[in-house]
Amino acid sequence: MAPTMEQLRFLTDDQVRRLQAEFGTPLFVYDQASLERQAAIALGFPAPFGLTVRYAMKACPSAAVLRVLTGSGLHIDASSGWEVRRALAAGVPAERILLTAQQIPEDLADLVGLGTRFNACSLGQLAAFGQACPGHEVSVRLNPGLGSGHSNRTNVGGPSASFGIWHSNLERVIDTARDHRLRITQLHTHIGSGSDPEVWQRCAGLTLNLLRHLPDVTTVNLGGGYKVGRMSTEVSTDLQRAGEPIAAELRKFAQVDGRQLHLEIEPGTFFVANAGAIVAGVIDIVDTGKEGHTFIKTDTGMTEILRPSLYGAQHPIVVVPKEPGDRSTAEYLVVGHCCESGDVLTPEPGNPEGLLARTLTQVRIGDALVVDGAGAYCAAMASKNYNSFPEAPEVLLSKDGAFHLVRRRQTLEQVLQNEAIPEFLR
């Protein structure tokens, strides 16, 4: 059965037509009001002894988005040294950045010297940090043995995840820190993308149990991964409901241990998922006969949004007719512009190999098509330049209703600028 007809989340039909005419398609558009609203909700997360909320910038590293969220009081979680440098370039103070990376940057000592904090995710990383920055404070990421997520690809805890130091290696963590005179002042755990408060409470309990062996820890970071419902039928995590049992665990720990732990959380999707959309154009309509399907072909796809092809992720899709007026509805499959059979925007939920038609406003070539819920892991995680399509522009919708270009459309010259033809081929 085709999913329910979706409505635009923060744009109006007239605004979509304006964007299509002024900037061309495809393009990303982000909503300042939505970003600030989500930041305010997260900053109200229950934390009896203080709270720092970090934005996991890998979700959407646009400088304009970073400015809006850090201006709202958020700090930054960076997943590479390059992200640290990108945040610094956007004006984020180094002391508000925590680096949690799979790969240690070559300039780690320089970044720490600027004030960036480091979160060691393996015994090797901890030793390397100790060699580069002996005597420093450090955060350590432990895998508590518990994971959560809507698929194995979004589960970053438990025995199937490579993220963090396995909890039974805690003595080796302590020995390594002692060898390099490091003070472990923060403990970090992250179990993945889920929405069950009981799982988060269990994770908090496991994390706090580990702290009994780490007397210098004053801050505990429980990661992010709070589920956001993009489709109207999906449920989002209630941060108050998720946070209350965690706050209870922190109070209980304070009574037993005497330490009042500062709490950090670091959502990414929560802030930006529904604050972003892709405005695309309908470029063709084809069918495969009475027993087949009718396809809408768009000028976006894997080059801007990979999640449907990767996870079978569901995104609201809304047709905005070029000319206002009533139209009937029909069932369509929506596909992208890449010469790739997997470039499908309407897969079955959780099954990128399957297809599921959508009931949409009847389309004509030239209409706009909006893919909503496209703020997180879309512009940041796409098959950029596949088929040599240039990177799409980004636009910020400010609270006064104005549109601001915050990233220009890439040119072919920019796509090619780092290529070099060796002398023997000339």
Which residues carry out catalysis? 339
> Are residues 55 and 70 in contact, defined by beta-carbon separation less than 8 angstroms?
yes
3-state secondary structure of 372: strand
CA distances from 202 to 167, 302, 347, 354 (A): 15, 37, 34, 35
What sign does the dihedral 244-247-251-257 (CA atoms) show?
Answer: positive
Beta bridge partners of 187: 140, 220
CB-based burial, 284-320: b 16+ in 10 Å, e otherwise:
ebeeeeeeeeebbbbbbbbbbbbbbbbbbbbbbbbbb
Q: Which residues pair with 28 in a beta bridge?
A: 278, 394
The 3-state DSSP class for residue 178 equals: helix
The neighbour count for residue 92, using CB atoms within 10 Å, is 24
In three-state secondary structure terms, 256 is helix
Contacts of 357 (CB under 8 A, 6+ apart): 2, 293, 331, 332, 333, 346
| Contacts of 358 by beta carbon, 8 Å cutoff, 6+ apart | 2, 3, 317, 331, 332, 333, 334, 346
**Which residues does 182 contact at the CB level (< 8 Å), separation at least 6?**
126, 129, 130, 134, 135, 136, 137, 138, 176
CB atoms under 10 Å from CB of 362, counted, come to: 13
Residue pair 303/389 in contact (Cβ under 8 Å)? The answer is: yes
Q: Which helix (H) or strand (E) holds 329?
A: strand 329-335
**Peptide bond between residue 26 and the one before it cis (omega within 30 degrees of 0):** yes
